[in-house]
Amino acid sequence: MDSCLMLWHMKPQSRAYRFVGHKDAVTCVNFSPSGHLLASGSRDKTVRIWVPNVKGESTVFRAHTATVRSVHFCSDGQSLVTASDDKTVKVWSTHRQKFLFSLSQHINWVRCAKFSPDGRLIVSASDDKTVKLWDKTSRECVHSYCEHGSFVTYVDFHPSGTCIAAASMDNTVKVWDVRTHRLLQHYQLHSAAVNALSFHPSGNYLVTASSDSTLKILDLMEGRLLYTLHGHQGPATTVAFSRTGEYFASGGSDEQPEVDFPIPPGRGRSQESVQSQPQEPISMPQTLTSTLEHIVGQLDVLTQTVSILEQRLTLTEDKLKQCLENQQLIMQRTTP
């Protein structure tokens, strides 16, 4: 919101770089595959390409007529795809630094656009409740996925390029096959809008970030929830696995970036990387510390209990649905 980019170094005590150039809130960032370039989109309607060093020099791309919501480099680093509130998806040449073409079939804001791993397809997610699949060469819309009941906030390709996952304000995550266009998986696990998701590089796991303030790790092979992570104090707005899959990072409206250790043997830990300088420790009375620890312990128990109740409720709903279906079948058979 402060119109700046912060480039954080993962080594302790390293200084963060602050890049200034955008004239309004920065909505999205993406590193090129080589790491030599960094793209950003903003509410000021521009896209900027930065050289991520101490100088923080950038080139401005202008063609969108409204807020830019998404920026994503192609796997070869030659192209960039952007999505905007002007209802278009635009493709740019990064080295020639020029606008190439627009994809314009969405009828509402476009929140996200991504290249497929091989760079031949583009997928986009929109407030028109659709996910659209595009052929980059022909610039045609190959298919529209219309199963979501509300705005589609985020979409991405599986590392294999054979399927896509989309997150929506209808609290669900859906996975489709891009060859048959069949809905493969449907997850309704969050209690509020799902804002972002990220595939693990292995393709076996998916992490989601939601306005219910939680992150969830899904096992795609088993089609089930693995972990629910409680760290953010407000809506979790973004999440991404590292290239190796060793870490994932999440951001939220609580203004606190976190780096998490995925699929841990015990509980999820996080390193909060807000301060670059060590601070003096603040002393706290022992009684207050123990009281707070007790409250946290009780909250953990409550969270686990609610989670178990949710699972039981889902099982009960499934059994009830099965009973009703069986009853209908019996009625149909007995009816002359």
pLDDT class of 261 with cuts at 50, 70, 90: low
Q: Choose the most confident range, by mean pLDDT, from 5-19, 21-35, 257-271, 304-318.
A: 21-35
Pairwise CA distance, residues 142 & 137, whole Å: 11
The pLDDT tens digits for 25-54 are 999 999 999 999 999 999 999 999 999 888
Pairwise CA distance, residues 36 & 32, whole Å: 7
pLDDT score of 282: 42
Provide, rounded to the nearest whole percent, the portion of the chain with pLDDT above 90: 69
Tokens of 7: 């480039």
Tokens of 202: 């292995």
For residue 169, the cross-strand partners are none
CA angle 231-156-255, nearest 5°?
30
What is the rounded (10 degree) CA torsion for 225, 230, 236, 238?
-60
* Cβ atoms within 10 Å, residue 166: 24
219: pLDDT strictly greater than 90: yes
pLDDT class of 268 with cuts at 50, 70, 90: very low
Tokens of 299: 């909250």
The candidate with the shortest Cα–Cα distance to 151, out of 176, 166, 168, is 168
Pairwise CA distance, residues 194 & 14, whole Å: 33
Average pLDDT of the residues of the chain: 87
Q: What average pLDDT does the segment 310-326 reach?
A: 80
pLDDT score of 270: 45
139: pLDDT strictly greater than 60: yes
pLDDT score of 277: 35
pLDDT score of 317: 77
b/e burial code for range 200-222 (CB count within 10 A of at least 16 → b): beebebbbbbbbbbbbbbbebee
Q: What average pLDDT does the segment 62-81 reach?
A: 96
Q: What average pLDDT does the segment 215-222 reach?
A: 96
The candidate with the shortest Cα–Cα distance to 35, out of 246, 243, 251, 248, is 243
276: pLDDT strictly greater than 70: no
Segment among 144-153, 168-177, 266-275 with least mean pLDDT: 266-275
285: pLDDT strictly greater than 70: no
Q: What average pLDDT does the segment 161-168 reach?
A: 97
pLDDT score of 113: 98
280: pLDDT strictly greater than 50: no
pLDDT score of 53: 84
255: pLDDT strictly greater than 80: no
271: pLDDT strictly greater than 60: no
